Amino acid sequence: MQCHWLLALGLLASSSAWAKKVNLDYHVRLLPESQQAEVRVTLAEGSAVRSLDFDLGKQRAYSDFKADGQWQVQDDGLRGQWHPSPGKSQLSYRVHLAHPLSNGSYETRITPEWALFRGDELVPPAHLDQQDGTELIARLSFELPSGWKSVETPWPRIGKQRFRIDNVSRLFDRPTGWMVAGTIGTRRARLGETEVSVAAPQGQGMRRLDNLTLLTFVWPQLQAVFPRNPPKLLLVGARDQLWRGTRAGHHSIYLHSSRPLVSENGSSPLLRELVHVFAQINDRQASDWIGESINEYYAIELLRRAGGVSEDRYQALLAALERRSAKVSSLRGDQVDSAVTARGVLLLQALDREIRLHSHNQRSLDDVTRALMRLSTVSTEEFIQLSENVLGRQSEVLSSKLLR
């Protein structure tokens, strides 16, 4: 019986090696004059895919579809379904890359000199129906406007302006994460097993070396908590007319170049999004406080553990969190503001002290966080259960009315 199980496991492990590999190529031509990109999706063998059902979204960002095989727009333009033709099969379209916000700034932008955008928008999410025994090998290439020098993405480079797209958590590999192109400057370092790049258009005030230095400073502490080793991490930024914030993407972070490395309140916008990239905690059931509070908690804690925060500054920071969250009566809800996040950080700090006390400093909130990382989603009830499993008893901290 054991031999049969070992044989089955061996066949399962080698199934990908026996799969028929079919190339899936994404070719992107950036068009600054229309603030668009022209995308061409090419399947080397169209018969390997029965259909791709795309979610086109409500923004009407995609247009000018042309396809080999059958293309059908459904649900009043919200979805598009492609049935590729046999042999080499292509789908092409255009997508708007500039997204203005109500205050006049842009979330993503393409100018005559550079573009900063999310790869998620180049190819909309899709449900893939493919032939059994088939593995798609996805690659991304760019055709840049005249005078533009290069492009950076969070994916491994395999040639000039070419990248390999391989996401083991998805059946349909598509380009995701923040990207920047044009006449750009880049600083690089290898931290652990990860190639870290800080890239931005020239003349946009991005402090590349400062950001890379901070990442280098906290990296050992980051890896001690979050046992992930992405092959690449990309930090992008710019200034002109862009949203003055920070946001994480797939193995990537956007940081407006005016943002400080460490804010006056003691937190770091960059480290908060870095934790988001590594922790990948997804909340459900009115439990958004978990992910937001963990991101903020470790943005403070990693800097402290690395020696970047003195004890008096740390105590002043805690006092500021207390003042900011004084009126918060509950952490539950789908809208999490800075006051709720501050109260959540204080609760996590109290939970960490409780775990360390009862485990004689053998366990901590780090153990809870690593357990959370193994879940696809988490609710408040599951967070309490995981924490009490680590604690080995019922938690007094988590009996708080804040979690009801």
CA dist 62 to 39, 67, 111, Å?
10, 14, 19
Say what angle helices 311-324 and 338-358 make with each other, to 10 degrees. Answer: 130
SS3 15: helix
CATH class in words for 281-403: mainly alpha
Q: What is the pLDDT of residue 11?
A: 47
Q: Which residue has the tokens 């006051």?
A: 339
- Count CB atoms within 10 A of the CB of residue 290: 22
103 burial type by CB count under 10 A (0-12 exposed, 13-18 middle, 19+ buried): exposed
CA dihedral 306, 231, 203, 256 (to 10 degrees): -60
Q: What is the pLDDT of residue 260?
A: 94
Which token pair is 198? Answer: 């800080």
Q: What is the pLDDT of residue 117?
A: 98
pTM exceeding 0.95: no
- Count CB atoms within 10 A of the CB of residue 344: 27
Q: What is the pLDDT of residue 50?
A: 97
Q: Which residue has the tokens 């205050």?
A: 103
Rounded to whole angstroms, the Cα distance separating 387 from 294 reads 13
Q: How far is CA 7 from the centre of its chain?
A: 38
Rounded to whole angstroms, the Cα distance separating 270 from 272 reads 5
Which token pair is 235? Answer: 């930090």
Q: What is the pLDDT of residue 150?
A: 97
Q: How far is CA 121 from the centre of its chain?
A: 14
pLDDT in tens, 115-132: 999 999 999 999 999 999
What ranges do the domains of the chain cover?
281-403
pLDDT beneath 50, residues of the chain: 6, 9, 11-15
Which token pair is 266? Answer: 């003691």
